[in-house]
Amino acid sequence: MLLQDKKIAIIGGGPGGLTLARLLQLKGANVKVYERDFNREVRAQGATLDLHYESGLKALEEAGLMDAFNANYRPGADRLRILDENAEIFFDDHNDESTGNFGDEWFRPEIDRGPLRTILLDSLQPNTVVWNSHIVSLESINDSWKIVFENGETVVADIVIGADGARSKIRPFVTPIQPFYSGVTVLEGNIPDSEKNVPKIHNLLKGGKIMSFGDSKTISVSAKGDGSLDFYAGWKTNADWITESGIDFKNSKQVLEWFKKEYFKWDSVWLELFEFDNVTYTPRPLYCMPLDQKWEAQANITIIGDAAHLMPPYAGEGVNMAMLDALQLSESLTNGKFTDLKSAIADYEEEMFTRFAKKGKETMDNTEFMHSPEGLKKLLEMFQQFS
């Protein structure tokens, strides 16, 4: 076994890193996950996730976690309404009889990120995750890696796998390739108790999802199991808009004034999202890795998830790609087909490159057309084609 007597360090405790740890432990590997969060309760987990048959759900099935997923996913949360800027509904599947079920290619059940993380954490051996481990440096020592953390701790690992997201500290040790700006920035917010605080949007949402289009802009809204909602306003602007705008994103009145100017063609119903005072706003310029990226594999380090193939969220592939990375990497490392670690890692990376070239193009195409004057029309045509 390639991993016999090897110490594996996974940097990052998101869905990709935790799925990989679970899959490797099932094969008897010695794995630690180093996560920057102080503990498992310290940070509120973000958006609702839809898991796909061929990727996220496939990884959970291989990990033996489908029963736990079935007990925690949110039936009906995948119901979608597509609207224009005037809140006119053009597509609504809330009244359609559900024909999807597990095993169907187009069934994409939704689960909040927090419960998914809990499922994965609870599946690991005790003390697998080392909390409060924010990496600050990595040093190659012979055939191993010395990892230094902000809290002063150091560890030595035989294999390092970066699952540490868009600003990965591991990626520069794998490749110098940098992401490019997609041309779109989003402003993200969360509103607690949506029924009370934003009743108009809550009624439009009906416990599911909203995608709205107008004037080359978007607003997406998702209901969460705790009664809150997440929303994302997306529009085309330059990469430095966050600093150039001069907005204090902790000042809700400044954000509201910006929204009124930027989305002036949109119906007043959307103002409800920005008139609620107690919102923490997070602006995010959206980046994507080059679709033709490649590098030469190494024998003791690689990357998965956003660290490997960051892309915008407009195809719902992020978490699914990360979990499929975990599945494919675990198989390459443990299936017995390879006589050395470099060949096993190269096998995973070649599959990942090919998959990302396809999914990344789909994502960038979606990002472009959704933020065009024809965004609503093209999405409706896409749905009609699928149906």
Check which CATH number belongs to the domain holding 157 and give it: 3.50.50.60
Section 228-251 average pLDDT: 96
Section 205-231 average pLDDT: 95
Section 335-350 average pLDDT: 97
pLDDT score for 98: 57
275 and 361 share a domain? no
319 and 172 share a domain? yes
Last residue within a domain, chosen from 244, 273, 288: 288
Whether residue 372 is contained in a domain is answered as no
164 and 305 share a domain? yes
Whether residue 246 is contained in a domain is answered as yes
Side chain identity, residue 149: F
pLDDT score for 377: 95
151 and 245 share a domain? no
Whether residue 303 is contained in a domain is answered as yes
Last residue within a domain, chosen from 248, 271, 288: 288
- Long-range contacts from 32-35, C-beta under 8 angstroms, 24+ separation: 32/7, 32/8, 32/128, 32/129, 32/130, 32/155, 32/157, 33/124, 33/128, 33/129, 33/130, 34/9, 34/10, 34/129, 34/130, 34/133, 34/135, 34/147, 34/149, 34/155, 35/129, 35/130, 35/131, 35/133
Tally the domains of the chain. Answer: 2
Write the Ramachandran bin of 165: left for phi over 0, alpha for psi from -120 to 50, otherwise beta: left
Section 171-197 average pLDDT: 97
pLDDT at 1 over 90: no
Q: Kindly indicate the confidence band of residue 385, based on its pLDDT and cuts at 50, 70 and 90.
A: confident
Whether residue 308 is contained in a domain is answered as yes
pLDDT at 387 over 70: no
188 and 223 share a domain? yes
283 and 348 share a domain? no
64 and 190 share a domain? no
Q: Kindly indicate the confidence band of residue 57, based on its pLDDT and cuts at 50, 70 and 90.
A: very high
Side chain identity, residue 28: G
What residues have CB less than 8 Å from 254, skipping those under 6 apart?
247, 248
Whether residue 104 is contained in a domain is answered as no
**Residues spanned by the domain of 203:** 182-288
312 and 247 share a domain? no
How many Å is the maximal CA-CA distance in the chain?
63
Q: Please state the residue numbers annotated as binding site for FAD.
A: 50, 113, 306
Two structure tokens written together for 334:
């443990």
Whether residue 98 is contained in a domain is answered as no
Contact call for residues 60 and 20 (beta carbons, < 8 A): no
Whether residue 307 is contained in a domain is answered as yes
pLDDT score for 95: 75
Q: Please state the residue numbers annotated as binding site.
A: 43, 50, 113, 306
Q: Please state the residue numbers annotated as binding site for NADPH.
A: 43
Q: 352: number of CA atoms within 13 Å, CB side?
A: 34
Section 139-151 average pLDDT: 95
- The pTM of the full predicted model, rounded to 2 decimals, is 0.94
Name which of 345, 344, 354 is nearest 309 in CA terms. 354
Side chain identity, residue 40: R
pLDDT at 97 over 80: no
Q: How many CB atoms within 10 Å of residue 131? A: 15
Last residue within a domain, chosen from 254, 288, 322: 288
306 and 160 share a domain? yes
3-state secondary structure of 372: coil
52 and 200 share a domain? no
254 and 328 share a domain? no
pLDDT score for 48: 85
CATH number reported for the structural domain that contains residue 265 in this entry: 3.30.9.30
191 and 282 share a domain? yes
pLDDT at 61 over 60: yes
Q: How far apart are CA 370 and CA 161, in angstroms?
A: 34
Whether residue 95 is contained in a domain is answered as no
